[in-house]
Structure 1
Amino acid sequence: MSMRVTFLGTGGAVPTTERNPSSVLVNREGDRLLFDVGEGTQRQMMRFGTGFTISDVFLTHLHGDHVLGLPGLVQTMDFNDRDRALSVYTPAGTEEEIDALIHAADTRPSFPVHVYGVGPDEAAVRRDDYEVRTFRTDHDTNAVGYALVEDERKGRFDREKAEELGVPVGPKFSQLHEGDPVELDDGTVVEPDQVVGDPRPGRRVVYTGDTRPSDRVAEAAEGADLLVHDATFADDRADRAGDTGHSTARQAGEIANRAGAERLALTHISSRYAGDVSDHLAEAREAFDGETFLPDDGLTREIPYPDE
């Protein structure tokens, strides 16, 4: 089952000619989940070919570089004759502001838009085999991060072992893989644990939005296949990062290292570093041994299963 992450906007509060404000799209086998909607996100979606069939929008906080693209995106969806409802999740207590933003400039979409407030440590969305959980972040406003967490998968079916035990090829294979014992013609009962391995982990993608380094983030990102972390500044402006509720690239690396993450994406890069992000990468890599990258707008990464 595919999972692709497209970085639509990787810049900080001030956009540059190379970096749009914050937005990340996760396409999980056709479920398109959009995390933050900086201004111009709908153009980025056209530019990078993601399509507009978004099912859910997740906002980390109400600073403009994370939400000002929402009314334009809704209007673009309306012009494209969308009729499916859109769900928007925002930190609890900010629902009225987001509803007003969506309907700014007398916008009245022809499709339902539902705005839901979410607090930290709850499941914003629960689907058949994954959920999107919230966690508290450390920013100078009402803010949450989001973790897309897949359920465990079935263990691998050992066909060779099943045949050795006399299970005929056919429906009984499926029964065993589904966890049901089967009875053979001679009365022998074969149990699932005889031919099915241990459950296999799903994937975890964690998006922080804006945050200082935080124990809560490290906990939420434990074992993450991809951690997308605020890295607004390099070490040269570490004091500025703390004062404004952001992280340095090195601090993001330290959180990824604590969490035992597999991959770290550095985002929300300040316009001060336009054209040169080499210090960000070097400093993060000194703190984190896993894969570290600083995506350009439009980069898409496939996220494999941990056991692949």
Structure 2
Amino acid sequence: MLRITFLGTGGSLPTRNRNPSAVMVNREGELLLFDCGEGTQQQMMRAKTGMMSLSSIFVSHFHADHFLGIPGLIQTMSFMGRKEPLMIYGPAGTREFTELFKAFGYFNLKYEIRGKELKPGDVVEGEGYVIRAIETEHSIPSLGYALIENPRPGRFNREKAVALGVPPGPLFSKLQKGNPVEVDGKVVRPEEVMGTPRPGRTIVYSGDTRPCEAVLEVSKDADLLIHDGSFADEMADWAEESMHSTAGEVAALAKEAGVRRLVLTHVSSRYTDDVGPILKDSKKVFENVIVAEDLMELEVPYRPE
């Protein structure tokens, strides 16, 4: 399972139907949170994502609409009896930010908060995946993130294994896990009975940014790109000045990268009642695009074989 829940999709300011930035990824039951704007914990309750299985928070940058929800969330988890450490990753300033929770005794947390600062190119190892920090272009130090799953084993050829003398049972499992087995003095190797490795899935989260080369590169052939799409193209000058992106610019990047699906988020409050201009400008260039809404969920499937 790889499920994305958009907990907050607004840009800079909360509106009546959009919370500030927060995107939850549920990968096989492990929760990973990308940004945590104010009100995120309530959105988690509304979406029924759970929070106690949250292993890590990845902060893109320290503008308030991307991190103000963290203090409330970590205290709520403490009240609920959390004992496991929580990792908070982010750009320069992350370590100081996490130290604040230790400095202010009134938080009285019952678990450990660990902060780690990342630089572009740094990799966080997970179980069956990595998360790569990406250089982005915003008005303060900022990062995007790519969740890249490990390749999956190829398909197991049962008939060939039997023909090679391997009896059904535990030896099948060993071969599927990549281990050679011995049968009647003969060694059967995994590559003899396993097909070509199959790709895992890739999700890219840009955070706030101008369209940039680093996001383009990591997004090539990605299954899902979640990108700052703050403005319609008519606001191109302001997007450039404020270091955000327009829908058409992002659509062009997605097309060049060959992504399978594009989701635009961080929507400016000027589009509270109508995201039509954003969607129209993006679809002129890239068809498989949607504008995120709060509490929207997406499943990211494996690619067809």
- TM exceeding 0.5: yes
Cα drift, residue 98 of structure 1: 4.7
Matches within 5 A, 1:31-70: 31-53=30-52, 54-70=54-70
1:155-174 to 2 correspondences below 5 Å: 155-174=154-173
Specify every segment of 5 or more residues in structure 2 that has no aligned partner in the other structure, as ranges. Answer: none
Distance in 1, Cα, partners of 2:211 & 2:174:
47
TM-score (norm 2): 0.94
Give, in whole Å, the separation in 2 of the partners of 1:13 and 1:101. Answer: 24
| 1:232–1:247 Cα contact (<8 Å) kept | yes
CA distance in 2, matches of 1:92, 1:149: 23
Aligned to 1:85: 85
| Equivalent in the alignment of 2:249 | 251
Counterpart CA distance in 2 for 1:220 and 1:10 is 22
Partner SS for 2:244:
coil
The answer for the alignment partner of 2:141 in structure 1 is: 142
Measured in 2, the distance between the counterparts of 1:226 and 1:203 equals 9
**Which residue does the alignment assign to 1:214?**
212
Among 280, 293, 302, the residue aligned to 2:299 = 302
Distance in 2 separating the partners of 1:4 and 1:228: 13
Amino acid at match of 2:148: V
- 1:83 Cα offset (Å): 1.5
Indicate whether 1:20 and 2:19 are aligned.
yes
State the match for 1:236 in structure 2. 234
Q: What TM-score does the superposition give when structure 1 sets the normalisation length?
A: 0.93
Secondary structure of 1:212's partner? coil
| Deviation of the 1:171 alpha carbon | 2.2
Looking at structure 2, the residues matched to 166 and 46 of structure 1 have their Cα atoms a distance apart, in angstroms, of: 54
Q: Aligned pair count? A: 304
Q: 1:164, CA displacement in angstroms?
A: 3.4
Mean alpha-carbon deviation: is it higher for 42-51 or for 104-113? 104-113
Note the C-alpha offset of 1:251: 1.1
Distance change >3 Å, CA 181–CA 88, structure 1 → 2: closer
Change (3 A) 1:272 1:230: same
Distance 1:149 1:236, change over 3 A: same
The amino acid across from 1:120 in the alignment is P
Taking structure 1 as reference, are residues 209 and 102 closer, same or farther at Cα in structure 2, changes over 3 Å only? farther
CA, structure 1 residues 100+181, in 2 after alignment: closer, same or farther (shift >3 Å)?
closer
Tell whether the 8 Å contact from 1:71 to 1:102 is kept in structure 2 after alignment: no
Which residue of structure 2 lines up, in the alignment, with residue 204 of structure 1? Answer: 202
Give the superposed CA RMSD.
1.8
SS at match of 1:287: coil
Unaligned runs of 5+ in 1: none
Q: For residues 147-206 of structure 1, give each alpha carbon's deviation from its aligned partner in whole angstroms, at most 9, with x where no partner exists.
A: 111111111101122233443212222232233344443x55443223210111111111
Which deviates the most, 37-46 or 94-103?
94-103
Q: Measure how far apart 1:285 and its partner are.
A: 1.8
d(CA) in 2 for partners of 1:77, 1:175: 40
Q: Equivalents in 2 of 1:272, 1:104: separation in Å?
A: 38
CA distance in 2, matches of 1:101, 1:253: 40
Find 1:275's aligned residue among 273, 276, 285: 273
